[in-house]
Amino acid sequence: LLGVPGTSVEKNITLDRRTRIELSCRLDNKYSHLKSLQVTWKRGNETVRHINKTETSWSIQLRILDNSKLGSYSCTLKGEEEISAIFNLQVPKIEGKEKPIVSYEGDTAVMICKSFGYTPIAWAWYMTNGSEQIAINDTLLANKYVINRISANVTHMKILKLTKEDNGVYWCEAAFELGKSKGKLKLKVLSLMVPLKPFLAIVAEVVILVTIIFLYEMYSKKKEKSA
Amino acid sequence: SFPGERTEEETEALAAGKSPGTEAADRGWAWGVVLHFFLVNVLVIGMLKTFGIFFVAFQEEVGGSSEQVSWIGSIMSSLRFLGAPLVAVVCRRLGERPTSIIGAGLVGGGCLLSTQATSIPFLCISMGLLLGMGFACLYQAAAVMTAKRCRTRLAFSNAIARSGMGLTFLIAPFTQLLIDSYGWQGTLLIFGGIMLNLVPSSMLLRPISTQLPQHSSAKNQNRGALTAKKDSEALDGCLDETTHREIQQRSAQDLPTTEGLRMCHGRDVSGAVNTPAWEKLQKPPTDSCSPETATEAKKSYKSLPLTEKENSQPLLDFSPLKDPIFCIFTWSFLFSHLAYFVPIFHLVARARTLGISSMDASYLISVAGITETVSQLLSGWVADQNWTKKYHYHVAYLVLGGITNLLCPLATTFPLLMTYAVAFAIFCGGFMALILPVLVDLVGVEKLHSYLGFAAFFAGIAAIGGPPLAGWLYDYTQTYVCSFLFAGACALISPISFFFEPSAQKWKLKKANL
């Protein structure tokens, strides 16, 4: 990572499986005049050892084996000014849907979760009830929930026979070797009356217009007849 | 003699009563027709354009590959053109107003039915077929009614109505809002309601010369009433014709009859033709005079047999296909349609390949849209001034548009591309506004239905083939330059046929006089 004095630079690295990774901080040639630099690699508050050093770069090698090794690693160069760079090691992010999915009572809703680029080991779905997250077991409630893994990176959950109680937030969770990642989806269940009201209003307006035009035509015909 | 006297009085009264009072009313109804056509343009074109937003929603919920879902959109937009000949037949039988109401009903019903859709084939029929046919009905009826009502300022009224297409950009965000609040089913439900608004606006398509139905229906209590109404709706504003029928109905005298016939000579033939057919019904009540006047009518109009057949057997009328004028017009229509659609599809893509951001590219499109609307209005107004024949303007716009397209590959920066877009929009708006007036000029109003129907059919074939052809061109040449060159070539080919127009007219006259 190249850094400018006085600022902090950040980089996100996505890992989905166990691997060895080398993080290095390199000082740009412009600033090589800064002497007496002390470089510290930290993870949180903990200092990491085993630093490989060259003239202008400092790096560490990590073996990421499980979730506990993920997180933010920072390298701090202390000289006259302090320069730091942060590496965020994380599991792949799952995208849910920003906008709520709208569906109707008695209908079926389909919720889709996709993982981009990385293949999860397994998918799981959760429903939020109050503040708790309840796992959705599709074998238990097979006539209500149907979970399908359409492809390696995509999962579908169909909720049948929607009711008002199905309103709320759902989570799709992808399990990777190094951890789990969640995506958020919102479901809105409307009753049939909701769009029906504007529709009936429009139909009423249409009927009124038709009547007006019809009456006007009868009136003008009568006028012409009597003229 | 007493019936004869009464007839003459009544004809005078009719002639007098028609001119001052009802002319203002006629103008009012003409504006009503323009308003209806405007609404049709807004809603129909808006629905076609926002189909893309429904596309995503359908794909997620109902399933199916994107090719299958795009079939729905293709069926919808192509049936709008391909259904036109059938609609022309229906229009001639029932009249424009019932056809338009049927069209509005089909569209509304199709939308409502689609809310219950569970699979792609279902949607193909409910949305594709029903909506497509409904659109065809609405469009044909509105276009022909505009031509019939707005005689003098046809180009301008057509342009005003077409400017409705410019407003369709508002429908897209509105649709998105509805989908976010109500889901696609609720949105379709509300759209069905909005489309039903076309029913009262269709009622504005008042048939011309509405006085006669009162008289005739009062006289004929049996089926004569119904056919009289149909006939009067098919009458094309030939005022003298109505009086002519009045006369014929009551043991006519020869003198007023021939006068009536002569007065109408310059106008529409079919008006006079309707009377013999109608008179056949009247044969039982009135004995001697009607056959005489019928034969006399037959003698003075040689083209009668053809149009008589038209009226008594209103099946698919293929006579336009034998007319060279029709070939001229359709050739031009087809190529100008191709020249119009292809650049629209590829303008944004070309802008992106030149490195212009998508914000700027969409800015291009909106500027082009506004320019096109303004140019349509201007072109319509200019054409109505009748400084020269309308198709001369049409040809000029097409040639200039073709040259602009051929020069497009030279536009490689944003300002140049903007200039191209503006120029293209000006010329496109110009020739688009004149399509209907040019057809009316070439063909006259009474045959407009069948001509417009078949012309739209062929244009529909071009519309189906256009986008895939453009896509294939891109895949083959890996650059969008060829699409613009192709569009330019099409735009230059299309006015060629108009150079044959004078000779075609002469040929037609010769054939009619034989």
From B21, B181, B199, residue closest to A210, measured CB to CB: B199
Its ipTM equals 0.72
**Which chain A residue has the Cα nearest residue B13?**
A227
Cβ B198 vs Cβ B43: under 8 Å: yes
**Chain A residues in contact with B62 (beta carbon < 8 A):** none
When scoring B35, B107, B114, B196 by the number of chain A Cβ atoms within 10 A, the one with the most, hence best to mutate, is: B196
Do both B472 and B338 map to the same domain? yes
B186 with A194: Cβ contact below 8 A: yes
Residue B370 lies in a domain: yes
**Chain B residues in contact with A111 (beta carbon < 8 A):** none
- Chain B interface includes A206 (CB < 8 A): yes
**Nearest alpha carbon to residue B252 among B293, B301, B218, B213:** B293
The pLDDT, as a whole number, for residue A207 is 92
Secondary structure (DSSP) of B323-367: -HHHHHHHHHHHHHHHHHHHHHHHHHHHHHHTT--HHHHHHHHHH
Residue B308 lies in a domain: no
The pLDDT, as a whole number, for residue B245 is 38
A/B interface, count of CB pairs below 8 Å = 70
Whole-angstrom CA distances from B23 to B20, B149, B385 are 6, 11, 21
Q: Is A204 left (phi over 0), alpha (psi -120 to 50) or beta?
A: alpha
Residue B508 lies in a domain: yes
Q: What is the mean pLDDT of chain B?
A: 72
Residue A5 vs residue B379, higher pLDDT? B379
**Chain B residues in contact with A202 (beta carbon < 8 A):** 190, 193-194, 196-197
Residue A59 vs residue A103, higher pLDDT? A103
Residue A151 vs residue B281, higher pLDDT? A151
Cβ B484 vs Cβ B183: under 8 Å: no
- Chain A interface includes B105 (CB < 8 A): no
pLDDT band at B219 (very low <50, low <70, confident <90, very high): very low
Mean pLDDT of B485-500: 83
d(CA B259, CA A137): 89
Q: What is the mean pLDDT of chain A?
A: 80
**Chain A residues in contact with B114 (beta carbon < 8 A):** none
The pLDDT, as a whole number, for residue B309 is 40
Residue B305 lies in a domain: no
Q: Which of B151, B186, B206 is the last residue of a domain?
A: B206
pLDDT (tens digit per residue) in A113-150: 888 878 888 888 888 877 777 777 777 777 788 888 88
- Chain B interface includes A204 (CB < 8 A): no
Look at chain B and report how many structural domains it folds into.
2
pLDDT (tens digit per residue) in B275-289: 333 333 333 333 443
Mean pLDDT of A160-181: 85
What is the helix (H) or strand (E) element at residue A6, kind and residue range? none
> CB count, 10 Å around CB of A206?
21
Residue B217 vs residue A113, higher pLDDT? A113
Output Rg (C-alpha) for chain B, integer angstroms: 25
The pLDDT, as a whole number, for residue A204 is 92
Do both B62 and B186 map to the same domain? yes
Percent of chain B at pLDDT above 90?
1
pLDDT (tens digit per residue) in B427-473: 888 888 888 888 888 777 777 888 888 888 888 887 777 777 777 77
Residue B9 in this model has a pLDDT that exceeds 60: no
Residue B103 in this model has a pLDDT that exceeds 70: yes
Residue A185 sits at φ, ψ, to 5 deg, of -135, 145
The pLDDT, as a whole number, for residue A8 is 67
Residue B296 vs residue B122, higher pLDDT? B122
The pLDDT, as a whole number, for residue B261 is 34
Domain containing B188 — which CATH number? 1.20.1250.20
**Domain hosting residue B435, numbered range:** 318-513
Q: Which two tokens stand for residue B229?
A: 């109404």
Segment among A180-194, B52-66, B389-403 with least mean pLDDT: B52-66
Residue B346 vs residue B79, higher pLDDT? B79
Residue B354 in this model has a pLDDT that exceeds 70: yes
d(CA A30, CA A26): 11
Residue B260 vs residue B394, higher pLDDT? B394
Q: How far is B436 from chain A (nearest CA, A)?
A: 28
Residue B243 in this model has a pLDDT that exceeds 80: no
Do both B349 and B483 map to the same domain? yes
Q: Which of B206, B223, B255 is the last residue of a domain?
A: B206
Q: Please name the residues between 54 and 113 in chain A that touch chain B, using a CB distance below 8 Å.
A: 99, 101-104, 107, 110, 112
From B187, B190, B199, residue closest to A206, measured CB to CB: B199
Residue B380 vs residue B254, higher pLDDT? B380
Q: Which of B185, B206, B227 is the last residue of a domain?
A: B206
From B17, B182, B210, residue closest to A194, measured CB to CB: B182
Residue B69 vs residue A185, higher pLDDT? A185
Do both B334 and B479 map to the same domain? yes
pLDDT (tens digit per residue) in B325-339: 888 888 888 888 877
Tell me the longest C-alpha to C-alpha distance in chain B. Answer: 86
Residue B280 lies in a domain: no
When scoring A199, A214, A217, A226 by the number of chain B Cβ atoms within 10 A, the one with the most, hence best to mutate, is: A199
For the ranges A174-183, B209-218, B223-232, B309-318, the one whose mean pLDDT is highest? A174-183
A102 with B181: Cβ contact below 8 A: yes
The pLDDT, as a whole number, for residue B315 is 57
B193 with A202: Cβ contact below 8 A: yes
Percent of chain B at pLDDT above 70?
73
Residue B36 lies in a domain: yes
The pLDDT, as a whole number, for residue B4 is 43
B25 with A198: Cβ contact below 8 A: no
Structural domains of chain A, ranges and CATH numbers in brackets: 8-90 (2.60.40.10), 94-190 (2.60.40.10)
Secondary structure (DSSP) of B304-319: HHHHHHHHHS-S---H
Cβ A148 vs Cβ A112: under 8 Å: no
From B181, B206, B214, residue closest to A224, measured CB to CB: B214
**Chain B residues in contact with A112 (beta carbon < 8 A):** 60
Do both B322 and B201 map to the same domain? no
The pLDDT, as a whole number, for residue A211 is 92
Over B491-514, what HEC string results? HHHHHHHHHHHHHHHHHHHHHHHC
Do both B329 and B472 map to the same domain? yes
Mean pLDDT of B257-261: 36
Mean pLDDT of B182-210: 83
The pLDDT, as a whole number, for residue A208 is 92
Q: Please name the residues between 207 and 226 in chain B that touch chain A, using a CB distance below 8 Å.
A: 210-211, 214
